[in-house]
Structure 1
């Protein structure tokens, strides 16, 4: 039989906290990728791009899981498959890492940005639906394909904007604004994907797995890793004056009467305008 679901079992606490986590991951990721773009030697970009991708991917995954804590199904107990839950985290970080590396080394031409955005957005959507598939209860789920398509479109759009912002926005104010927009987009993608789902419950059946709160406590050691990364990234931003205030090392060199090599300037200063289609 069809069952009623609720996305807000704890009121607005879970969506607000989920949104804030998405914004925090995006903000730290943007500042790390900004630092990578400013590195003169491309060989030193990798660690910064990786840290930025981990921040963004961890923020997206944490947003998804916190939002799912508020999800309930009338007449059914929800359990979670640990392996699929871990897999969804790995997918989130991996696809963001791939997209960030593409634009970090190839730039933001329309073709490059489009390919990276589609790959990353589709991966973020896959993370969401892998996490949903890992949700076990006495019954089954069905999805409206039109709404699913809309959620994927939102994910691709958000990913494309995020990747462009990651290598194009250098000031603290612009990065903060982009982080809020990204937080709205990925949280909206999550709840759009949830709206696509219909639940059919088989009364009296039992399923194996862990409840959302049991899973939360069991995930604390693993979640501690991404949290430590986010904290370390925040410390880096706080103690790196150039990253905090948005100073451009290339402009500083020119202001002192020195002429950097043309290739170095081209490598370290991608355009801050939206690429024309």
Structure 2
């Protein structure tokens, strides 16, 4: 007997909330990776770690907020806590590998493709490991073609996000990149969910399924609380970073301007700024000043 799968039992509330969390995690993560490019070597691993944890936590939180709207009408759904926590660990660890590769190796095409594939596979592994943590009176079956499409979406989204992290310098362009990333990650989730069919064990629906579904938010909320608190703290760290408050003007410095800034102080002579060959000091007139460039 096939179960009746409903991925939107709460209407548009869960998709919108999931999308917001995906965008938040992506925005924080991209900003941290961008910030690491300007950090001293001693602080670089910290920014990259914070960025990877933000992206991983945001994607994981998106997944399980969306799953709160998923139900099989004929049977209740539970979650295996160790597997659920393991899916979070996989998301953070695998995303960290991709982020650190880009952070230390740069944005060469081969580097971006390698890190994007690793990160995208990590996102897909998180999704399907989380699905494996579901317990219900039946078996999940997946459409191989749709699963493949969902993995491709994850890899493309991860590659685009990592490219944006090292190439897009500016708050609002980064915000736009995070919105695109949020659309891609949420799309990957619902594409993967479209691949599911449920074959129920036994012929009759189990009683009490509706009551269990009503209590699902109270079961999932404690597991979501940790990542939500982390994302809040990460947001505070990013928003109070001095370079973010001061703006992005430093990114607009040209290499020539930076060389001029580092030149030693020029005082007198033909090479001094504002000085011309044969300049004389007229009585009663202030001599040319020296400037530091």
For normalisation by structure 2, the TM-score amounts to: 0.81
Structure 1 equivalent of residue 124 of structure 2: 125
- Alignment size in residue pairs: 257
Structure 1 equivalent of residue 240 of structure 2: 239
How do 1:187-198 and structure 2 match up within 5 A?
Answer: 187-198=186-197
CA 7–228 in structure 1, closer or farther in 2 if over 3 Å, else same: same
CA distance in 2, matches of 1:100, 1:143: 30
Structure 2 equivalent of residue 51 of structure 1: 50
Deviation at 1:259, TM superposition (A): 3.7
CA distance in 1, matches of 2:222, 2:194: 31
Q: Which structure would you say has the larger RCO, counting Cα contacts within 8 Å and 6 or more residues apart?
A: 1
CA distance in 1, matches of 2:170, 2:240: 16
- Check the 8 A contact 2:26/2:55 in 1, yes or no: yes
Structure 2 equivalent of residue 71 of structure 1: 70
- Check the 8 A contact 1:38/1:249 in 2, yes or no: no
Deviation at 1:252, TM superposition (A): 8.7
- Check the 8 A contact 1:34/1:243 in 2, yes or no: no
Give deviations 1:239-263, integer Å, cap 9, x for gaps: 2342243232682993693249xxx
Structure 1 equivalent of residue 161 of structure 2: 162
Give deviations 1:176-215, integer Å, cap 9, x for gaps: 1001000000000000000011111124587xxxx67766
Once the two structures are overlaid, the 10-residue window that deviates more, 52-61 or 166-175, is 166-175
Match of 1:248 among 247, 250, 255: 250
CA distance in 2, matches of 1:222, 1:143: 26
CA distance in 2, matches of 1:73, 1:81: 17
Mind listing any 5+ residue stretches in structure 1 that lack a counterpart?
A: 261-277
Deviation at 1:110, TM superposition (A): 1.0
Structure 1 equivalent of residue 284 of structure 2: none
Give deviations 1:127-150, integer Å, cap 9, x for gaps: 100011111111101111110000
Give deviations 1:149-179, integer Å, cap 9, x for gaps: 0000000000101111122212011111001
Structure having the higher Rg: 2
Structure 2 equivalent of residue 225 of structure 1: 226
Larger relative helix fraction = 1
Give deviations 1:109-135, integer Å, cap 9, x for gaps: 111111111111011101100011111
Structure 1 equivalent of residue 14 of structure 2: 14
Structure 2 equivalent of residue 270 of structure 1: none
- Check the 8 A contact 1:31/1:243 in 2, yes or no: no
